[in-house]
Amino acid sequence: MKGSSVKVGRRGWARLAGATLALLSSLVVIGVGAVSGPSRPAGADEPLKDKLIVYTSYGAPGQSATGTIVGHAYVDLVDEIHPNCQPKGCHYIYGKYPGGNWPFDTDGKINPDNNTGWSWRITYKLTVPQYEAAFRFISDQIKNPSRYKVLSSNCMEWAAEVAAVAGKKMQPYKNAFGVPEPAIFRNSLEKIGSGWIPGDTGGLVLKNHNPGSSASGAPDPPSPTPPCCDADSIVRSAMNHPATVASQLGLQFTKKTLPAAHPNADGTYRVTIRHPDQAGNMYGIVWGDGKRTIAERPAGGASFVVSHTYRTPVIGPLKVIIVENGQITQYVRTIGQSPRGSGNGETDVEPTPPPQTMYS
């Protein structure tokens, strides 16, 4: 669609600013400033036809190159009132992404998500003021997106911010460390099950019974980006395929092979990581006996210590993976069967930031 401006929403004309809002039936360009024009009073007994839908893609088909479930969250702001939005409604479907290749702290970007698959969603009914508040927030974010931080200001947190602006309180979506996770949000909705949640902030929970479809109803295409919005997916993927994940995220990859070692006489072994970054790094340990440890936000301090007891034969090497801004580092060490050692400590050194590069 070409032109300098189009009529959107129900309050008149909005000026183009290079941002496109995805609709079910077409693409419409939305202005990035306050929407102005004639207002339409809402009667007290008028049915609420504006909606906000919050989606989670966790568990939906569509795998990353590493075969790990991709987690994402995004919103759909629905206008079913304006005459131009009849009969199917206007759908503004968007999510937050990293604009650069340092997901722990980088530029943010608001992208259309009309072709993104989903597993569960919740639909909130909105009043006219609630709709317009969410509309302005999304418009402003397209023009000037907030910073992207995978452990705090990611796609899941952004979806919750849109809901909060619209006066709605989201179901639980943070893990025990306070990290916003699409998987936690999915689990919250799945626990409720399909149906209405009562109360002023309640909504309609729905499971996708056609999980191969996207928010627009079209077939869900393969994800073009790595699982950059789901901290748990990133670290789990890096534990399996660190070099691939580093390439997907535009990070450096370093592999360090350490001398062989042995567990203690009681089968215990410890890994010590010095100078851990609680807000900007994630850690994963593959012990080599089928057990794993994930630390998205380890306890602060001068060192981060994880102890493990080998109770079954060691079938593979010990691997310690550090995911941080700029690089993924993998330490590899063969663990012998006979007890003789006491563990290993490594210092985590943050690399110098490279220039920002956009995801494609």
Per-residue confidence band for 141, with pLDDT thresholds at 50, 70 and 90 = very high
Q: In terms of Cα–Cα distance, which of 166, 154, 43 is closest to 106? A: 154
The three-state secondary structure class of 333 is strand
Residue 3 has a pLDDT of 32
Is the pLDDT higher at 273 or at 142? 142
Report which listed range, 149-153, 161-165, 174-178, 315-319, is most confident.
Answer: 161-165
Q: Is the pLDDT of residue 55 over 60?
A: yes
Q: Is the pLDDT of residue 152 over 60?
A: yes
Task: Tell me whether the omega of the peptide bond preceding residue 87 falls within 30 degrees of 0, making it cis.
Answer: yes
Instruction: Give helix then strand counts, H and E, for the chain.
Output: 5, 19
Largest alpha-carbon pair distance within the chain?
Answer: 80
In the chain, what are the domains? 5-229 (no CATH), 251-347 (2.60.40)
Residue with tokens 């906000």: 52
- The pairing of strands 120-126 and 204-207 is antiparallel
pTM: 0.74
Q: Is the pLDDT of residue 319 over 90?
A: yes
At residue 259, φ and ψ (nearest 5 deg) are -60, 155
Residue 212 has a pLDDT of 74
What integer is the mean pLDDT of 136-142? 96
Is the pLDDT higher at 30 or at 180? 180
Residue 99 has a pLDDT of 86
Q: Is the pLDDT of residue 73 over 60?
A: yes
Q: In terms of Cα–Cα distance, which of 158, 115, 142 is closest to 19? A: 142
Mean pLDDT computed over every residue of the chain = 76
3-state SS, one letter per residue, for 60-129: CCCECCCCCECCCEEEEEEECCCHHHCCCCEEEEEEEEECCCCCCCECEEEEECCCCECCEEEEEEECHH
Residue 226 has a pLDDT of 56
